[in-house]
Structures are given as structure tokens and as C-alpha cells.
């Protein structure tokens, strides 16, 4: 007999109690939070699907590693372990720890971008684009068109459209493009992978024009799992092997280690070029810390080194993606419109399709996330026009074809029953969707407005 069901490759040793609140309590909480799920207190949340960032469950080995922290100011043993792990798992020569992903983005943008440059990328990410803009660059979206279409079934919606890159090179000249930012498992597209064939073709194009490829490897293992499952010729290779091959096609990377690598805080900038590394070291000591700890404690670097290896185990990835798929399939079976194919880290509800009575100016995804919380205590995140923000030069809202609510699954934290409850909450709410009212800003921060913005219901 061959068993086809999957189960988590771990058992539970410690639990954290959670509390269901009353509808009345949740109505009060969301009003006090200005209808913004980022402003809710975690104690008022039942199942927290806000993000998969920094909220994973560490293993007993990671916790044991924490006790071996070498908190020396300089040259911590844990740094060398982390550096060796990154070299052997990902192949990058030089590692600079940072406090989290955006710390690495900040330094990369500062050392590589000159004012007036262009940085293409396979869709924007909020913090990544902001650091590029702060350094004086203009971000140019070069992802394939299918990525902006929630119902396209393309298996690699994270792919770069090479014709868009070529057109940009022709328009502005390769010397104005210091690098292309290639994300694996593109977050804002719905956790969608890029194929190795596409990355290889991009490598050739970039080599021909002297443009570097910088890898946002925040969710590389999830991307690689999809390559193993979907791309011709990779079925028999391990996640670890494919990861190494993928990274070898890029010149360096930024990583928010709070996702794939299952630590609560941390990140790094990894580079192959020695001169760039020296420049990055000069910046890291200004903004993060000495180059052998950046923004991290020794114990956190140890947990990260161990987490990286755990993230590249095939059994782990099968269960991880299996759980996301389980929730996605339940919603699809119930007729809930979600981004297809099901992504790596989250299910994305299509708020435009669920709330057709609201215009995008009434922030349907923001309203849906707030309503789902009130309905069920399940916390999710808006990923639509509020997240897209405004163009810093013109002040106009960046358009966003995708108007989504993200139900993000933390790694190794929730069970299948939690997924059942979350699915039931969405399906129930669908029946009353026409009663959900639109929102307007009462306070709009000047950048990254989705974090602290406040709203009220439209009269
Ligand atoms: C996520 C996050 C955390 C987050 C960040 C900004 C707005 C809302 C939530 C962080 C990422 C990411 C990618 C692809 C860089 C970062 C920044 N994602 N690249 O999805 O997904 O990393 O948070 O460690 O600084 O909830 P950082």
C-alpha cells in the first residue's frame, strides 16, 4: 500500500493557548483599530493569518541552538555557522546579517542605486520598492501579464517578461539599470513561483547587457518546491539541490529570514562580489551593526542557521505547501473566488469579485479583511490599493489590478482544524457579502500607509 496523504513531519511539544472573543468585543476592537487589522491587539485575535513573517514555530533544535548563542561583540561563532550554512545551502560567498529583510534592502539599494536609475522587478514589494525609491530609483514592473490576473492558471506566474526587460533596456539604457530584483515565490502576485527556465533565460539577457540579478529569496524554498512539482526535469531532484542551482543563477540576495527559515527575527544580505561586499560592510556598520552580527543576536543567528537547513527538507515543504493547498481547495470547492493557482504561503481572496458592489476607491479588500475579523476572529491582511500606496512624485494612487485579502499561513503553527474554521468563516461571510460597506481614510500616513492608516465606514 502506498500512502498518499501527507502529515506534518513533526509532533507538538508545547502549545500556546488562544482565546475566542465575542462578536461584540470584536466590533469594538476593529473600530478602535480604525478598521485596520495591523492595529488590532494580538490578544483580540483567534486565528492569526495576518502574515507568515516571524510567526513560525521554531523546532526543539532551533531552541537548543539559542542556548549556544555566542554574544561576543565581534566574531561570534554563530555568525561563522550562519555564513557557512548560507555558502553551502545557497552558494553565496559573503553574508551580512541584518535585523530583518528591509535592513538588507536598505543596504543593497544604497550601494547599488544612483539617483535616476531604474530597477526592474517581478512585481513590487512594499518595503523593497520604497528603499529603491528612497535611493533615487524608479521601480519598473516586468512580471508577465498573467501575474496581474487572479484567474490565470499559469504555473509560473512569477516569471519575468523578457520582452519588458528588453524594452526597458532600449528605452533607458543598460547603464541606468544597476540590477533587476527577482523575487522567488512572488508575494504580491499571490505566492507565485518563477521557473528555472525563465531565470536561466533572464541570466543570459542580463549577462549580455551587464545587469546584475539580485534575488529576493524570502520564500525561495516554497518557489523551489513548485519547480520540483511542476517544471520538466526536476521531479527527482531534492529541494536542497534545486535551491542551490537557482541561487547560482543570481549575483546576490536579500532575505527576510522570518519566513522560509522560521526564525522570529532576522535577515541578511548575501553577495558574491568582493567589492560590493566591502561597500555593503561600510553601510552595515552605520545602519545595522558590526559586519559579524548586523542586526542580530548570536543566538538568533544560530537559530537561523538551523532553520535554513530545516526549510530545505522535502518532507517539511510537502507539509507546508500541503496545508496551504488544503485551505485553498476548501475555498475553491465552496465557490469562493481566490487567486489561482494556489500560492506558496497564503490564500488570496479576490475582494473585487466578492464585493462587486464596492468600487476600488472604497477599499474592498480592506473592508473584507475587517469584516472577516468581526465575523470570526480570523485576522488577515489587505493586499490591494491601500498596500500599493501613492507615487512619491505625482502623489497619485498607484493602480492595482489585484485587490486581495491575504490569508497567510504561519509555518508549523496551526492545524488542519484551524484551516477548517478559517474556511468556514470565509464561506459564511460570502453569504452576507453584500452587506459589507466600503471604507475611507481618516488618517493616511505618507508612506507604507497600510501599516498605520485608519479608516471609517463610508456613510
Ligand atoms: C509579509 C511581510 C512582512 C510585511 C512587510 C511589509 C508589509 C506587510 C508585511 C516581508 C517581505 C517580503 C518580501 C518578498 C521583503 C520583505 C521585507 N513580508 N521581501 O509578507 O515578503 O522583509 O519584513 O523582514 O523587513 O507579511 P522584513
Q: Where are the extended beta strands (E) located within 286-435?
A: 346-350, 378-379, 381-383, 404-408
Q: How many Cα neighbours within 13 Å face the side chain of 338?
A: 27
pLDDT value for 392: 85
Q: What angle in degrees, to the nearest 10, is found between the helix axes of 239-247 and 220-230?
A: 110
Mean pLDDT over 304-324 rounds to: 97
Q: How many residues does the chain have?
A: 459
Do the strands 267-271 and 94-98 form a parallel or antiparallel pair, or are they unpaired? antiparallel
Residue 33 to residues 29, 67, 109, 252, 367, Cα–Cα distance (Å) = 6, 37, 33, 39, 13
| CB-based burial label for 292 (10 Å; 0-12, 13-18, 19+) | buried
pLDDT digits (tens, 9 = 90+) for 378-426: 999 999 999 999 988 898 888 888 999 999 999 999 999 999 999 999 9
Which cell goes with 175?
A: 547603464
* Cα(45)–Cα(304) distance, integer angstroms: 27
Residue with CA closest to ligand 1 atom 21: 187
pLDDT tens, position by position, 112-158: 999 999 999 999 999 999 999 999 999 999 999 999 999 999 999 99
So which residues are the catalytic ones? 73, 125-126, 216, 259, 383, 450
Residue 185 region by backbone torsions, left for phi larger than 0, else alpha for psi between -120 and 50, else beta: left
Give the distance (Å) from ligand 1 centre to CA of residue 3. 36
Q: How far is CA 359 from the centre of its chain?
A: 27
Cis peptide before 341 (omega within 30 of 0): yes
> Rounded to 10 degrees, what is the CA torsion of 60, 322, 228, 166?
-100
Each residue's pLDDT tens digit, 342-362: 999 999 999 999 999 999 999
Confidence bin at 1 (pLDDT 50/70/90): confident
Q: How confident is the model at residue 88 (pLDDT cuts 50, 70, 90)?
A: very high
CA 265 to CA 107: how far, in whole Å? 18
For 62-79, what is each residue's pLDDT tens digit?
999 999 999 999 999 999
Distances in whole angstroms, Cα of residue 80 to Cα of each of 36, 69, 84, 282, 300: 41, 12, 6, 19, 13
Residue bearing the CA closest to ligand 1, atom 26:
51
Atom of ligand 1 nearest to the CA of 102: 25
Ligand 1 centroid to Cα of residue 340, in Å, is 21
Q: How confident is the model at residue 4 (pLDDT cuts 50, 70, 90)?
A: confident
Task: List residues near ligand 1 (CB under 6 A).
Answer: 51, 53, 100-102, 125-128, 183, 187, 216, 218, 256, 258, 267
% of the chain at pLDDT higher than 70? 100
The Å distance, Cα 57 to ligand 1 centre, comes to 18
pLDDT recorded at residue 415: 97
Give the cell for residue 118: 531604474
Q: How confident is the model at residue 111 (pLDDT cuts 50, 70, 90)?
A: very high
Q: C-alpha distances in angstroms, 374 versus 60, 98, 350, 396? A: 35, 36, 19, 31
Residue nearest to ligand 1 atom 9, measured at CA: 51
Q: What was the pLDDT predicted at 442? A: 95
**Alpha carbon nearest to ligand 1 atom 5, residue:** 127
- Helix, strand, coil % over all residues of the chain, rounded to 5: 45, 15, 40
- The Å distance, Cα 53 to ligand 1 centre, comes to 7
What would the grid cell of residue 76 be? Answer: 561570534
Q: In this predicted structure, what is the pLDDT of residue 6?
A: 83
Residue pair 348/404 in contact by the 8 Å Cβ criterion: yes
Residues 6+ apart with CB under 8 A from 67: 299
CA gap 351, 321 in Å, rounded:
23
Q: What is the pLDDT of residue 320?
A: 97
Q: Which of 102, 39, 370 is nearest to 254 (CA)?
A: 102
Tell me the mean pLDDT in the region 224-244. 98
Please name the residue whose Cα sits nearest to atom 27 of ligand 1: 101
Ligand 1 centroid to residue 240 C-alpha, Å: 23
120 closest CA partner among 172, 167, 170, 177: 177
Instruction: Pull the grid cell for residue 354.
Output: 466578492
202-218: pLDDT as tens digits: 999 999 999 999 999 99
- Closest ligand 1 atom number to CA of residue 448: 7
pLDDT, position 2 = 82
- Residue 284 scores a pLDDT above 80: yes
Amino acid at each position: 500500500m502506498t500512502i498518499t496523504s501527507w502529515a506534518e513531519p513533526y509532533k507538538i511539544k508545547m502549545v500556546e493557548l488562544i482565546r475566542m472573543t465575542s462578536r461584540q468585543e470584536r466590533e469594538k476592537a476593529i473600530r478602535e483599530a480604525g478598521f485596520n487589522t495591523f492595529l488590532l491587539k494580538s490578544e483580540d485575535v483567534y486565528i492569526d493569518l495576518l502574515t507568515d513573517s516571524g510567526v513560525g514555530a521554531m523546532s526543539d533544535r532551533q531552541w537548543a541552538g539559542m542556548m549556544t548563542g555566542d554574544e561576543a561583540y565581534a566574531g561570534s561563532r554563530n555568525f561563522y555557522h550562519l555564513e557557512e550554512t548560507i555558502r553551502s545551502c545557497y552558494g553565496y560567498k559573503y553574508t551580512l546579517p541584518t535585523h530583518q529583510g528591509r535592513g538588507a534592502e536598505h543596504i543593497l539599494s544604497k550601494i547599488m542605486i544612483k539617483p535616476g536609475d531604474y530597477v526592474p522587478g517581478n512585481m513590487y514589494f512594499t518595503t523593497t520598492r520604497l528603499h529603491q525609491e528612497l535611493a533615487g530609483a524608479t521601480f519598473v514592473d516586468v512580471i508577465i501579464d498573467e501575474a496581474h490576473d487572479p484567474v490565470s492558471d499559469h504555473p509560473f506566474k512569477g516569471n519575468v517578461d523578457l520582452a519588458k526587460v528588453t524594452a526597458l533596456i532600449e528605452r533607458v539604457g543598460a547603464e541606468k539599470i544597476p540590477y533587476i530584483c527577482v523575487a522567488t515565490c512572488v508575494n504580491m502576485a499571490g505566492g507565485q513561483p518563477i521557473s528555472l527556465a525563465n531565470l536561466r533565460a533572464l541570466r543570459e539577457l542580463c549577462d549580455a547587457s551587464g545587469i546584475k540579478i539580485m534575488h529576493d529569496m524570502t520564500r525561495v524554498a516554497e518557489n523551489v518546491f513548485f519547480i520540483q512539482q511542476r517544471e520538466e526535469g526536476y521531479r527527482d531532484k531534492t529541494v536542497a539541490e534545486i535551491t542551490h542551482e537557482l541561487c547560482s543563477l543570481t549575483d546576490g540576495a536579500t532575505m527576510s529570514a522570518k519566513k522560509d527559515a522560521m526564525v522570529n527575527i532576522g535577515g541578511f544580505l548575501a553577495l558574491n562580489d568582493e567589492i560590493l561586499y566591502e561597500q555593503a560592510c561600510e553601510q552595515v556598520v552605520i545602519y545595522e551593526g558590526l559586519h559579524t552580527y548586523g542586526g542580530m543576536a548570536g543566538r538568533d543567528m544560530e537559530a537561523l542557521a538551523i532553520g535554513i537547513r530545516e526549510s530545505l527538507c522535502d518532507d517539511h515543504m510537502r507539509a507546508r505547501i500541503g496545508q496551504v493547498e488544503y485551505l485553498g481547495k476548501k475555498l475553491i470547492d465552496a465557490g469562493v473566488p481566490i487567486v489561482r493557482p494556489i500560492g506558496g504561503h497564503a490564500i488570496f481572496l479576490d475582494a473585487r469579485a466578492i464585493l462587486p458592489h464596492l468600487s476600488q476607491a472604497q477599499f474592498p479588500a480592506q473592508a473584507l479583511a475587517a469584516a472577516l475579523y468581526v465575523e470570526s476572529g480570523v485576522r488577515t491582511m489587505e493586499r490591494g490599493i491601500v498596500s500599493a500606496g501613492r507615487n512619491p512624485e505625482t502623489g497619485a494612487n498607484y493602480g492595482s489590478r489585484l485587490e486581495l485579502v491575504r490569508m497567510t499561513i504561519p509555518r508549523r503553527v496551526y492545524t488542519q482544524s484551524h484551516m477548517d474554521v478559517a474556511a468556514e468563516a470565509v464561506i459564511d461571510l460570502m453569504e452576507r457579502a453584500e452587506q459589507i460597506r466600503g471604507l475611507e481614510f481618516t488618517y493616511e500616513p505618507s508612506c507604507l500607509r497600510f501599516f498605520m492608516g485608519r479608516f471609517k465606514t463610508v456613510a
